[in-house]
Amino acid sequence: MPIENIPEIYIKEKEVNEGLLVYDFKMTNDVVKSKVNLSMNMFSFLQVGKKQVHFADTSIAVNSKQSLLLKKGNWLWTELLETEAIYYCKLFFFSEEKLIEFLKKHTKNVQPYTNGVAYFVIENDDYIVAFLNSLSILNSDTSNYSANLLKIKFEEIMLYLLAKYEQAFEFYLHSLISKEVSPFKNVVESNVHSNLKLEEIAFLCNMSLSTFKRHFMLEYNEAPGKWLQDKRLQRAKDILQEGQLKPSDIYLDMGYNNLSNFSIAFKNKFGISPKEIH
């Protein structure tokens, strides 16, 4: 699957004006785990549909009652239609320079928080609905007045969220300018029990698959495919022994496309089929 460079692929008629860009994203088909290289921090104001984002060490799912502020980086996006035939999301990109300028003007001089997560969940309310309506009107205007208004709208939403979420949002904004990258082992071990493929975990580590495999061998002295499979099968055995779930309930979560492949791998490792676990 090709990597989408965002917002670069949206910049055709529109330039990023002084580090700010608004883009109306619409879609009529589900997209599952698309690889996205996000080069600017971004508000994702979801209006119709569902969205899930896999980060290096966690994931988050939201519906149209919530919005996300996402840190720039390599992420996997899943975007799903609901009952409507269209997925609609308003994206508001801002550069690191714009963020630093805002923080200097409006927040205390706190040091960047290096262990912040890559996202902040925003509960949509009447103010945000009104803000998005004003952005829609602004987005159809290409005058210089519009560009200047966009700067004010960026400051407006940031100030509103600071008032709404207080210190939690302030600390999150400071974490966005931290240069710390998630350590390799942290990314790998956070995804041991996910259903992500090796190639997808490598992408979250900002590595090609071949580089990831070499790095993995140095860290763990074992091929990543076998290491992950053993960990996930052991997890499956533990779950089945609890007696609450059947093999058909868990094989997808363990990274297998079908029950048959899961059963074969399980029997090869433990000598019995998953159905025989009590």
Which 3 state secondary structure label does DSSP give 38? strand
Topology of the domain comprising 3-176: Jelly Rolls (2.60.120)
Q: 180-215, pLDDT tens digit by residue? A: 555 788 888 888 888 888 999 999 988 889 999 998
Q: Which helix (H) or strand (E) holds 153?
A: helix 144-165
pTM above 0.75, yes or no: no
**Residue 101, amino acid:** E
The ranges assigned to domains in the chain are 3-176, 184-276
Contact 250, 193 (CB under 8 A): no
Cα(233)–Cα(64) distance, integer angstroms: 36
Q: Which CATH superfamily is domain 184-276 in?
A: Homeodomain-like (1.10.10.60)
Q: What percent of the chain stands above pLDDT 70?
A: 89
Q: 60-114, pLDDT tens digit by residue? A: 989 889 999 999 888 988 888 877 678 888 999 999 999 999 999 998 766 555 5
